[in-house]
Amino acid sequence: MYFPVSDTMLFHGNDRKLSRNFTEKRLRGLPIPPDCGTLSTGTLNGSEWNTVERISKENYYLDIAETVLERATCLRRVYGAIIVKNDEIISTGYNGAPRGRANCSTLGYCPREALRVPRGERYELCRSVHAEANAIISASRRDMVGGTLYLVGRDARTGQLLSDATSCMMCRRMVINAGLEKVVIRTTETEFVTVPVSEWVAEDDIPQ
């Protein structure tokens, strides 16, 4: 039993059903940062309550995007993306081969890696549709205009969070044309950067 008060949840007596993010990090033996929820005890109307500070709205959506990336099939880097507008999730996407085609995880090799293509180059050789692209094509533009795309990436081999995750030039063009207002990218377990899409428009990629 709990009653939400602003950004704090109150739990009566020994009912300590913490937030999913808080609980999972605790069960997995990970450090529980301040933004993940902190437990303290207080009183309300003479009764003892346990309180848990709720995670930020940005990390709430980034956690969902991170769950989405668990479906990704790339052997290099896995990404999860979700599009949100008016606090409603419009669509989700992860990087993987087009429907009906074999994924790299099934083939057991990455064509670009086999050709020793450097990161960020020759994406036309990649078998995957990127996470941002899959999220965008799964929604109508009228629903996305003014919305936010949340993006999380991890190294497919080590599972390490990518602190330098960002959208490629092709995905940036799609984000711009989708009418999205900003992109929120996770950089650490609790930190993120917010990129106004207007910056990508201004950073026109025409060679100088």
Q: Are 22 and 52 in contact (CB under 8 A)?
A: yes
Q: E strand or H helix at 44, and its extent?
A: strand 39-44
Contacts of 159 by beta carbon, 8 Å cutoff, 6+ apart: none
Q: At 34, is the secondary structure helix, strand, or coil?
A: helix
- Tokens 């090799």 found at: 109
Concatenated DSSP letters of 84-153: EETTEEEEEEE-BPPTTSPPHHHHTS-HHHHTTPPTTS-GGG--PBPHHHHHHHTS-HHHHTT-EEEEEE
Longest CA–CA span in the chain (Å) reads 69
Q: At 21, is the secondary structure helix, strand, or coil?
A: helix
**74-84 CB burial, b ≥16 within 10 A, e <16:** bbebbbbbbbb
Strands 148-155 and 2-5: unpaired
Please confirm, yes or no, whether 199 is among the known catalytic residues: no
Q: Which of 53, 66, 132, 189 is catalytic?
A: 132
Active site residues: 132
